[in-house]
Amino acid sequence: MDKKADRGFIAAYLKLSGQSLKKKTSTAVELLKDCTLCPRECRVDRTKDEQGFCRTGASPYISSWNPHFGEEAPLVGTHGSGTIFFTRCNLGCLFCQNWTISHGDDGHTIPIEELAGIMITLQNYGCHNINFVTPTHQVPMILQSLEIAIHKGLKIPLVYNCGGYESMKTLRILDGVVDIYMPDFKYADPETAKKYSYAEDYPSVAKTAIKEMYRQVGNLVMNEGGIALRGLLVRHLVLPEGLAGTEEIVRFLAEEISPFTYTNIMAQYYPCFKAQDHPPLDRRLTNQEYRKAVECAKAAGLRRLDQS
């Protein structure tokens, strides 16, 4: 069920007509003028350098890019995931482990053409996919670059590696473009989401977004070598004292998405950024807390837990 030969595999974006992709790109670019790309709907004109929550304009703003070997095994394979880290974010997590990128300005703007070139370079390195990290607020730039990259021969799957705080409007633009969705599902409780990420509506937004992602791509499909080709992969970072609401989240995934949802129950939480000021986020997880989270996932009926 989870393995399929990739003989004949064609990336989703290559199945779109050039005209369809151009229409999606122009629709996304238009949103920048009264920005509603994410659920915050700041309605600033980013084409005139007005800044909303993400503090990002209309050009690609990246921190780094490289073949990455620290992702889940189905993405990494033998040659790595072609990862592009975008600077800034539409969430405000007080414990972000990449806070110098998401909250700071660790990065630089680049031309659309350069972003396209990066995609091609990563493909030439042998990477199994192009992995856009924190892409939500830069979807128009990605699509503009993708049009160029396709003409240069891009053909590997695209991974949309996001925080789960996604607009249905933007996800519908991405329908037929993205091969692999990899959202976080951070919180089950609105008050917790408000306190730690300034996004009280996060739980309801994430549920709606993950349902749409699953509708578009289904369960994760891998080739005979275990490399992901298409589908949904959900990450859930376990927080101290059950703050993330793991039990409700895994139940949702098993019952309202699919028991075969490929899920990574993540144990790597450690205090970063402003976490020291917000107990119990000022400490690492205990082994018992993590084991409990995994047992919750199994008890809920999830059958594909990441073993990376």
pLDDT of residue 7: 66
Is 5's pLDDT higher than 50?
no
pTM for this entry:
0.96
Least confident of 7-11, 34-38, 248-252: 7-11
Rounded to 5°, the CA angle 36-110-61 comes to 40
Alpha carbon 55 to its chain's center: 19
pLDDT in tens, 104-156: 889 999 999 999 999 999 999 999 999 999 999 999 999 999 999 999 999 99
pLDDT of residue 104: 87
pLDDT in tens, 181-204: 999 999 999 999 999 999 999 999
- CATH 3.20.20.70 is right for the domain spanning 12-300: yes
Which residue, among 176, 267, 243, has the nearest Cα to 213 in the 3D structure?
176
Which residue, among 91, 193, 71, 196, has the nearest Cα to 134 in the 3D structure?
91
Query: Are 221 and 228 within 8 A, CB to CB?
Result: yes
d(CA 283, CA 291): 17
**Residue 14: partners with Cβ closer than 8 Å, 6 or more residues away:** 150, 155
